[in-house]
Structure 1
Amino acid sequence: MHATERLYLYSRFERFWHWAQTVLILVLLVTGFEIHGTFTLLGFARAFAVHNFCAWSWLVLYAFIVFWMAVTDEWKHYVPTFLKLMDVVRYYLSGIFKGEPHPVPKSERAKHNPLQRLTYLGIVSFLVPFQMITGFLYYTYNQWPQLGFAGSLTLKAVAVLHTLGAFAFLAFVIVHVYMTTTGHTLTAHIAAMFTGYEDVPRNGVKPGGVEGRTEENR
């Protein structure tokens, strides 16, 4: 078994928004598919109300997350890099099943590997805004003439795009849940998002704090 060291990687606010966003996305998926007519659980009217409440809550939370990342330098963990990207891809395709060590261990300076960085950046910069914009357009359908959208959009097109976005989020949730089981134990990554601490392999590099992180961030 590889020697490990215990690092504090996730601040309180990061853990809060992670789980709050998780709950909001899951509720939005369930109520959204009910509104779409996939099944009946809450009833259309209640599902519609809950869906809209969660959508606005997510927009507010998203704004706070972006602001927090900007003022704490956490954005540096999401800067894309292709260095060792293919090594990470090969690891998840085969190396992980052979017991090989992760090619890019987590550290306080780099919490996310190259594949995670590209994935999270794509979600934060494209998929989330895409879903919020199409959802807003769907919600304000009756105001399209006043907003100047009449004639340039169709409700069906917006509905299809919003539904495709929902399936993309569903796929991400499934893959993300699977990836949480790929730590040195099945629950290691999940536990880290509750405690903030994660055991990572020792790599001979002294732990270094992310610039801007202080005790007050914890």
Structure 2
Amino acid sequence: MKDKKIIKIYLYARYERFWHWLQSFMIICLIVTGLEIHGTYKLFGFQTAVNIHNFVGLSWLILFAFFVFWLFTTGEWKQYVPTTKKLFSVILYYSWGIFQGKPHPIQKSKGAKHNPLQRLTYLGISAMLLPAQMVTGL
């Protein structure tokens, strides 16, 4: 048997991967400091937790602004436009087919990184929930 050469294909650009992990870190920091501010436990001390929380919150807002800028300057916004094509197939897969070992109904590619359900979810989060959370602080 011949050895097959494995070629890595990155669907997500370096910036996208960096943005994703930085955002994850920021959200964890905001949760930890937010819980301390509300008196759940003591880790940093109240004032330090407030300072960290405010700094990370503002940094996240700036990161989100860069993300929106990046979406529209690179054309990546098209990845987030919801579509109903194969939406029902994806819903059936995640509610039943995944437990039966069936193959995923959508193949990812650089031109279609997200399935229809992800597109709908990410649009709702990015366009409604994140801005509402950033304005209210909840």
Q: What TM-score, normalized to structure 1?
A: 0.58
Q: Structure 2: where are the runs of 5+ without partners?
A: 1-6
Partner residue of 1:18? Answer: 20
Partner residue of 1:197? Answer: none
Structure 2 counterpart of 1:93, one-letter code: S
Identity of aligned residues (%): 60
Higher RCO (CA 8 Å, separation ≥ 6 residues): 1
Partner residue of 1:114? Answer: 116
Partner residue of 1:38? Answer: 40
Q: How does 1:67-86 map to 2 (within 5 A)?
A: 67-86=69-88
Higher mean displacement: 46-55 or 92-101: 92-101
Counterpart selection for 1:28 from 1, 9, 30 = 30
Aligned residues: 133
| CA displacement 1:72-124 (0-9 Å, x = unmatched) | 11111100112211211111111111111101121111100011111111111
| CA displacement 1:114-156 (0-9 Å, x = unmatched) | 1111111111111111111112xxxxxxxxxxxxxxxxxxxxx
Structure 2 counterpart of 1:26, one-letter code: I
| CA displacement 1:50-79 (0-9 Å, x = unmatched) | 000000100111111110110111111100
Structure 1 counterpart of 2:17, one-letter code: R
CA distance in 2, matches of 1:84, 1:6: 27
Q: Structure 1: where are the runs of 5+ without partners?
A: 136-161, 163-218
| CA displacement 1:17-57 (0-9 Å, x = unmatched) | 11111100110011111112222221211111100000010
Counterpart selection for 2:60 from 58, 61, 64 = 58
Q: How does 1:139-218 map to 2 (within 5 A)?
A: 162=138
C-alpha contact 2:93 2:104 (8 A) present in aligned 1 = yes
RMSD: 1.6
C-alpha contact 1:24 1:54 (8 A) present in aligned 2 = yes
CA distance in 2, matches of 1:87, 1:6: 28
| CA displacement 1:145-173 (0-9 Å, x = unmatched) | xxxxxxxxxxxxxxxxx2xxxxxxxxxxx
Q: What TM-score, normalized to structure 2?
A: 0.90
C-alpha contact 1:24 1:58 (8 A) present in aligned 2 = yes
Partner residue of 2:131? Answer: 129
C-alpha contact 1:7 1:107 (8 A) present in aligned 2 = no
